[in-house]
Amino acid sequence: MFEKLRNPEGRPITVFVDGTPVMAEANESAAAVLLRQGPVWARTTPVSGARRAPYCMMGVCYDCLATVDGVPSVQTCLTPVREGMRIDRQLGRRSVAS
């Protein structure tokens, strides 16, 4: 499991991962927060259901996709956290609203 190095200028905030309150620092990426939560994964694949975790941390691999504040398939590595943000691990492909 990963451990956050303390940023002396970081302001502590609370975000929710799958409904559980988690401490984070303002402006760190949502993917970094997911990497500190066990078990470490952000989404499951649509075909096999295999768990995937943030990998490249720069928006290239798309393994960090999750639902953020109700919006599916958000690249969490490019998304800074903010107070009260809700991050839900994404199961399979996103649903398409009709």
Which pLDDT score, from 0 to 100, does residue 84 have?
Answer: 98
**CATH architecture observed for domain 12-89:** Roll (3.10)
Please give the backbone phi and psi of residue 45, each rounded to the nearest 5 degrees, phi first.
-75, 150
pTM score of the predicted model? 0.86
Cross-strand partners of 17:
20, 87
Cα separation, 93 vs 39, whole angstroms? 20
47-84 pLDDT per residue, tens: 999 999 999 999 999 999 999 999 999 999 999 999 99
Domains of the chain by residue range: 12-89
pLDDT at 98: 42
